[in-house]
Amino acid sequence: APSAAPYQPTSGQPGHAPAGGHPYPAGGPGHGHPGAGGYPGGPWYSGQHSGWAGGGQPGAPGPVFPQQHPGQPTPPWAPAHPAPRPGRIAKFAGAGVAVLALMLGSGVAGGALALAVDGDSGGITRTYSAAPVINGADLPRIAASVQDSVVSITTDSGEGSGVILTDDGYVLTNNHVVAAAGGNSVRVVFADGKSAQARIVGTDPKTDLAVVKASGVSGLQPATFGDSDAMQVGDQVLALGSPLGLQGSVTAGILSARDRTIQAGSGEQRQNPSQGASSISGLLQTDAPINPGNSGGALVNTRGEVIGINTAIATAGQGSGNIGVGFAIPSNKAKDVAGKLQRGEKVSHPSLGVSVNAAPDGGALVAAVTPGSAAEKAGLRQGDVITRFGDKVINDSNDLVGAVQAGKVGDRVEVTYQRNGSESTATVTLAEAS
């Protein structure tokens, strides 16, 4: 969450902005992370598909992570820009190919996967019950039940938000909030205004998640996590965090869509754009306003249960503010990754090993096959058009990204593809992404 300092537009292209905590390189489509406190945002998601499995359509908006930077004036209003054309907001690929290094893995599935943490859950409280429909009078009660579990996170490069996992100071946030932080530059600010130094426990750039540990604290109020798979389009939600450095802010909306795929770059990739862009799939979409500084904060249902971690927003033109299209990492995915990071375990991610574009007549067109990859071993070639991955129909490259990311390392999957006008099948064994 950005500090009180105003933020600037993230890039001159439509996209999404990170909600994290530092500046990001420009040049990608407009998805980003609502970002760091007091710092101008740059596109967290680049529209280029180098090295990743993102897939999308040329010219489509990309994700941005809005953030703020100290000392920069805040524009009094955002310029009006035409809205992105319907149906394109989820296709955040740029003109480049999407590389299916597809690294979201073992237990980190897109969309519908809801793996419980084995054994010790790392203090994460989980509930699985349908959320009721509420009226406006209930919103203050719901917000009050969650606010003590949402924090601000400041670093030497910006500010974001976080969600308390345990009463002794473990906090979940976005990787892009803390990626550029130095050894002692992370600080957690609690709802009562008190703060504590924090260390980074673990990060997973490929899911844009991180866990930090605040020092010398006890008696905190951990968030209760709900079942993101139980959420339906149209369900009411609240977003909590520190947009523009305004701690304790609450906005309301609905769940607009599920299972979105966007192009994103990890914190390291944002600092070093040559490392390419990544794709994150299975995201929840909401119209609850998310702005710079909201990254890492909570998206909650009407029971006050966290069902998502706010991570990115779509922007139009050169603006970096909210236009009603925000994205959150589903709680089921976030819980699984957070538990592994707390326990010091590796978070593995499956890889197919192809670069893809959207095929003109539908499907994912293989632009390149990585030597030694799962795809090469299964006999896939450049020019093949993948139309089905397991039981999922592949309409474009984003579909393939999501399908691979929803799998696990070692999964055997039947792939249907077109080659020279003939349909064939091959069985691939998903490898672990390097």
Who's near 149: CB < 8 A, 6+ residues apart? 163, 164, 220, 221, 222, 223, 224, 298, 306
273: β partners: none
Cβ proximity of 191 and 157 under 8 Å: no
pLDDT in tens, 14-64: 344 444 433 333 333 345 555 443 332 333 332 223 223 333 333 333 444
SS3 of 342, please? helix
pLDDT the model gives residue 317? 66
Who's near 48: CB < 8 A, 6+ residues apart? 27, 28, 94, 95, 96, 263, 276, 277
Distance CA 432, CA 409 (A): 5
pLDDT in tens, 414-426: 999 999 999 999 9
DSSP letter at 78?
Answer: P
- Residue 145 or 28, more confident: 145
Burial class (CB in 10 A: 0-12, 13-18, 19+), 17: buried
Residue whose pair of structure tokens reads 């390392």 in the numeric block:
409
DSSP letter at 40?
Answer: B
pLDDT in tens, 345-380: 999 999 999 999 989 999 999 999 999 999 999 999
DSSP letter at 403?
Answer: H
- Domain 350-432: which CATH class? mainly beta
Burial class (CB in 10 A: 0-12, 13-18, 19+), 93: buried
Q: Are strands 125-126 and 224-225 parallel, antiparallel or unpaired?
A: parallel
Which amino acid does the sequence have at 123?
G
Who's near 56: CB < 8 A, 6+ residues apart? 47, 49, 91, 92, 93, 94, 98, 261, 263, 358, 396, 397, 398
Structure tokens given for 99: 């590389």
Listed residue (395, 373, 390) closest to 382, CA to CA: 373
Who's near 15: CB < 8 A, 6+ residues apart? 28, 29, 30, 31, 32, 43, 45, 47, 61, 62, 63, 64, 92, 314, 315
DSSP string, 115-131: PPPSS--TT-EE---PP
Q: CATH fold of 1-73+112-345, please?
A: Thrombin, subunit H (2.40.10)
SS3 of 345, please? coil
SS3 of 418, please? strand
Cβ proximity of 236 and 302 under 8 Å: yes
pLDDT in tens, 401-418: 889 988 999 999 999 999
Mean pLDDT in residue range 391-405: 91
Distances (CA, A) of 143 to 105, 124, 139, 288, 349: 33, 19, 6, 14, 35
What is the percent of the chain with per-residue pLDDT over 70, rounded to a whole number?
A: 63
- Model confidence, pTM: 0.68
Q: Does the structure show a pLDDT above 50 at 122?
A: no
As annotated, the active-site residues are 176, 208, 295
- Residue 147 phi/psi, 5-degree rounding, is -60, -35
Q: Which of 64-73, 204-213, 280-289, 308-317 has the lowest mean pLDDT?
A: 64-73
Distance CA 150, CA 191 (A): 7
pLDDT the model gives residue 285? 97
pLDDT the model gives residue 270? 32
- Residue 324 phi/psi, 5-degree rounding, is 90, 15
- Residue 137 phi/psi, 5-degree rounding, is -65, -20
Structure tokens given for 147: 């606010």
Q: So where are the chain's domains?
A: 1-73+112-345, 350-432
Distance CA 221, CA 308 (A): 18
pLDDT the model gives residue 323? 87
pLDDT the model gives residue 77? 26
